[in-house]
Amino acid sequence: MLEPFLELFPDVAVGYVGLERDEKTAKASSYYCKLPNLTEKVAIVVDPMLATGGSASQAIKLVKAESPHSVILVSVVAAPEGVAKMNEDHPDVPIYVAALDRELNEKKYILPGLGDYGDRLFGTL
């Protein structure tokens, strides 16, 4: 999802928060974080799929620690559970999604969803 944002905002500074979800617990753990200076800037957090909201919430907590003026979350698809988690943890962060799907299944995957988008994106199937 980075390339379209770079086309729209070619002078933007890019950071990266790497989070990996444990398939058994559906909890994310951080393996990498490198952010540019965000002081008093607008930070756009891009997360392809907002399922449980855990990863997005963790990433936004890290971003907020860098004192941005504001934070925005952009996702392709979301589940109501993820939106609820974000509204609970970060009510000040607007969420923009292309589609709001119906629910999460027992594995915490979005239904009907897109499959495991992260693995498809990074070729880690």
- pLDDT computed for residue 116 by the predictor: 61
In percent, the amount of the chain with pLDDT more than 70 equals 90
- pLDDT computed for residue 96 by the predictor: 98
Instruction: Kindly compute the dihedral angle of the four CA atoms of residues 37, 97, 91, 110, in this order, to the nearest 10 degrees.
Output: -110
- pLDDT computed for residue 42 by the predictor: 97
pLDDT digits (tens, 9 = 90+) for 97-119: 999 999 999 988 898 876 665 66
CA 53, chain centre distance (Å):
8
Whether the pLDDT of residue 1 is over 60: the answer is: yes
Nearest CA to 93 out of 59, 117, 51, 124 is that of 59
- pLDDT computed for residue 125 by the predictor: 57
pLDDT digits (tens, 9 = 90+) for 47-79: 989 999 999 999 999 999 999 999 999 999 999
Could you tell me where the DSSP H helices lie in the chain? Answer: 2-8, 54-64, 80-89, 117-122
Whether the pLDDT of residue 88 is over 80: the answer is: yes
* Catalytic (active-site) positions: 21, 25, 116, 119
Residues 6+ apart with CB under 8 A from 13: 36, 37
2-120 belongs to CATH 3.40.50.2020: yes
- pLDDT computed for residue 121 by the predictor: 62
Domain boundaries along the sequence of the chain: 2-120
Instruction: Please tell me the pTM assigned to this model.
Output: 0.86
